Chain A
Amino acid sequence: MTDVLAAPTGTEAPRSEPPPRRRRGLGDQAFAWALLTPAFVVLIAFTHYPIVRSAMASAQERGGEIGTGQYERLVNDPVFWQVLKNNIWFALGTVPTSMALAILMAVWVNNKLKGQAFLRLAYFTPTILPMVAVASIWLFFYSPGIGPIDQLLSAVGLPTRNWLGDPDTVLPALMVMMIWKQAGFFMIFYLAGLQNMSPELEEASTLEGASRWYHFRRVTFPLLMPTTLFVFVVAVTDAFKIIDHLFIMTGGGPNNASNLLLYYIYDTAFSFFDPSYAGALTMALVVILGLAAILQFVVLERRVHYR
């Protein structure tokens, strides 16, 4: 980090009066730290300190003594395993699909065609909406009987469903909404990646007689790997940390069928007022996300072509 920050000042060295070299180095160091301070302060105050506090809270047993009681509870808590399972399904259901859709849309709107700007905007629109608004809209879409989806189904003679009131359909219903909301957002990253790509590559492929699919598979997609990694990280963490829609749409029900880990943490901490157990659950979430991040950056990074 400090090297990067020092670089611009270094290039100016010939122009400005050269101060003694040693002092300058120290000053650069200090300056870099000063620039990093605001971010550090915010990160420590709102991320690291709360993690430590959660860990401390999770070590408290009922009655105040220190122990692993909360973690024993966690292992034996069927709701915890259920929300974890839901969360993994939710990630599996939303991440690959929304990324595939995002690439597809990006390639599509990267072409030169009429109404390109309009198309891009159209795909991006769900992203500009706040999650709460999206949830309210989809709550109406899914409302049994009077919602547009059921209206449409009954118009063509298909049976209607209580989408959010049925444990079999509630999670898939939420996944569809999430994909709709997120694909446009990821498209923007892919679009940026595509626009950075030199048109010569495509010309070369055309000259060599490669099919468009072959070009995409062997040239475009590998070159988009850094974008894919980035989007993947964002998508996976989002699958674990976006829960706004649960407040509006299901409250985690019916019978925890749509409950996700973070929402369960919220409930435990703020509806059941059990900060110790919420702390233990939080540590579980931190570990899961930490493992995911390590896996992504260590394992996948090796397979990513940076230029």
Chain B
Amino acid sequence: MPVRPRSLTGAAAVAGALVVVAGCGGGGDGSGGSDGLTMYYPVAVGGPLTEVVDKLVADCTEETGTQVTAVYSGSYADTMTKAQTAARSGQGPDLAVLLTTDLYTLIDNDLIVPLDTLDEDLSWTEEQFFPAFLASGEAEGKLWSLPFQRSTIVQYHNKEAYEAAGLDPEQPPTTWEELEEHARQIQEQGAAEYGLEIPSTQFGNWMFQAMAIQQGVENTPGTDGFVDYLDDPGSVEALTWWKSLADEGLMPSGTTEWASTPEDFLQGRTAIMWHTTGNLTNVRTNASFDFGVSMLPAAEQPGSPTGGGNLYVFNRGDENSRAAAYEFSKCLTEPERAAEWSIASGYVATGEPAWETEAMQEYAEEFPEATVARDQLEVAQGETTSHENGRVAQAINDTIAAVLTGQAEPQEALTQLQANIDQILQPYRAR
């Protein structure tokens, strides 16, 4: 059939239709209307956790009568990216589970609302949550989020490897010296390829903070979104020690992947690992050997930063939808559900009432390892939280990688790092 000029209108119509289709493709998803809310949540640890979240959300939908679509949105970083970009085009989530360390970034971008605008009396939170967890939701004298999936770093050890190396499997290391001794003995006896793995990618800054706390460095969580502990002598000591573990061959050289560390532990490649309690259920389900969980060892003192994610109510919709989002997050963090979530994931149940539930008490009796992280809260500090959190965390991770791969010396690298961070945060000081 010959092509005729008169089909011009047809061609134009096709072109028009294409534009319309393209327009729809960009605009159709992710919006929570007034009658339904959207919640973004990440899964940062192993195991099929999306089903558990879906169940919690379904239960709370029934209880509160608010229709909530829970959107699994990848890692914490992915979720933060999605929430930010969606919010910019006016389609953000109504509530989201995001890292506690993103608090200032969220406030600076005016993405979240303080909870006192939704609830005049927030005293109930003090009874329901551990103070250490609650503290990381506080800024500018207000509470901005509710603890949901909270963690600390704990030390996992392979009891079979301990026995094979002639060590007492019930006596995990409690000091840095013991840790080195055990790791060395395990390697010398050939019980595992590496004595120890401490992951240095993604959350390397978190691991580093733990070592700094153990060295007695003060104020690692930062003040009002400013971080100043990085060039402290104790911090230098901490990074020097980390590097020495790799130099002595107790740990793999170079950087160690966050995600592959539990895999290495489960495969028996490393006998000891430091990792989030969030991986407890994953390890418990998949380990073919007996393993133990203990508090991180002490240098000057024991300690770990807290970590994990809180539930934030976003600054969108009208008063009613925000109130509904708040009620919903209250429902999700109720003691019974906190217990259920803790048992399914390995995250620390967020408060005393949750630990007093029947389910949690049974679980703790059957699996005492679960209580380690709770007990460690006594000596825990809040995770480093700053303005420009993404950039600051990346700068810290880059420095750790530079030192661990032998590109830089701890003292100089950390001095430079603190200067860089001061520069990144400079605009916030002026305000």
* A→B interface (CB under 8 Å): 8-9, 12, 15-16, 24, 27-28, 30-31, 34-35, 37-38, 41-42, 45, 62, 143-146, 162, 164-167, 251, 253-257, 267, 270-274
Is there an interface contact between B8 and A34, defined as CB atoms closer than 8 Å? yes
A-B contact pairs, 19 of them (CB 8 A): A24-B5, A27-B5, A30-B5, A31-B3, A34-B11, A37-B11, A37-B12, A38-B18, A45-B19, A145-B269, A165-B253, A166-B253, A167-B405, A254-B405, A256-B398, A267-B394, A272-B390, A272-B394, A273-B390
Given contacts A24-B5, A145-B252, 10 further A-B contacts (CB under 8 A): A27-B6, A27-B8, A37-B15, A45-B19, A162-B256, A165-B255, A167-B401, A253-B397, A255-B402, A273-B390
Residues of chain B whose beta carbon lies under 8 Å from any beta carbon of chain A = 2-3, 5-8, 11-12, 14-15, 18-19, 22, 77, 80-81, 84-85, 105, 109, 193, 200-202, 252-257, 260, 263-264, 267, 269, 388, 390-391, 394, 397-399, 401-402, 404-405, 407, 427
Q: Which residues of A have CB within 8 Å of B81?
A: 270-271
Q: Which residues of chain B are within 8 angstroms of A164 by Cβ–Cβ distance?
A: 257
Taking CB as reference atom, which chain A residue is nearest B399? A255
Whether A165 and B257, one on each chain, are in contact in the complex, defined by CB atoms closer than 8 angstroms, is yes
Which residue on A lies nearest to B269, using beta carbons?
A145
A204 to B380, CA, bound (A): 83
In the bound complex, residues from chain A placing their C-beta under 8 Å from that of B15 are: 34, 37-38, 41
User: B388 is contacted by which of A31, A143, A145, A272 (Cβ under 8 Å)?
Assistant: A272
Given A165-B252, A165-B405, A166-B405, A253:B398 Cβ within 8 A: yes
The residue that A31 contacts in the complex, of B11, B22, B200, B264, with Cβ under 8 A, is B11
Q: Indicate if the CB atoms of B254 and A45 lie closer than 8 Å.
A: no
Q: For the complex, what is the distance from the CA of A251 to the CA of B7, rounded to whole Å?
A: 51
- How many Cβ-Cβ contacts under 8 Å join chain A to chain B? 111
Closest 6 CB pairs of A and B: A165-B254, A27-B5, A254-B401, A34-B11, A162-B254, A255-B401
Which residues of chain A are within 8 angstroms of B6 by Cβ–Cβ distance?
A: 27
A101 to chain B, nearest CB (A): 29
The answer for the CA separation of A8 and B5 in the assembled complex, in Å, is 12
Q: Which of B7, B14, B390, B404 is within 8 Å of A271, CB to CB?
A: B390
Give the residues in chain B near A274, CB-CB below 8 Å: 391
Q: Specify which chain A residues have a CB less than 8 angstroms from the CB of B405 in the assembled complex.
A: 165-167, 254-255, 257
The answer to whether A253 and B255 touch across the interface, beta carbons within 8 angstroms, is yes
Contact of A273 among B105, B201, B267 (CB under 8 A): B105
CA–CA, A34 and B11, complex, Å: 6
* Bound: A71/B133 CA distance, A: 41
CB of A262, distance to nearest CB on chain B (Å)? 16
CB-CB < 8 A to A34: which residues of B?
8, 11-12, 15
> Taking CB as reference atom, which chain B residue is nearest A19?
B5
B5, A31: Cβ atoms closer than 8 Å: yes
Closest to B395 in A: A79
Bound CA span A184–B208, Å:
44
Nearest CB in chain B: distance from A186 CB, A = 31
Query: Which of chain B's residues have a CB closer than 8 A to the CB of A273?
Result: 84, 105, 109, 390
Give the chain B neighbours of A256 by CB distance below 8 A. 398
Q: Are A165 and B256 in contact (CB under 8 A)?
A: yes
Closest chain B CB from A29 CB (angstroms): 9
B407–A167 touching, CB < 8 Å:
yes
Residues of B within 8 A of A31 (CB): 3, 5, 7-8, 11
Whole-angstrom CA separation of A251 from B255 in the bound complex:
12
Are A251 and B201 in contact, CB atoms less than 8 angstroms apart? Answer: yes
- Write out the residue numbers on chain B whose beta carbons fall within 8 Å of the beta carbon of A30: 5, 8
Q: Which residues of A contact B398 (CB under 8 A)?
A: 253, 255-256
Contact of B407 among A24, A35, A255 (CB under 8 A): A255
Q: A253 contacts B201, CB within 8 Å?
A: yes
Q: Which residues of B contact A251 (CB under 8 A)?
A: 201-202
Interface centre among A62, A254, A274 (most CB of B within 10 A): A254
Cβ of B2: which chain A residues have Cβ within 8 Å of it? 9, 12, 15-16
Report which residue of B3, B193, B255 has the largest number of chain A beta carbons within 10 angstroms of its beta carbon. B255
Give the docked Cα–Cα distance between A143 and B255 (Å). 12
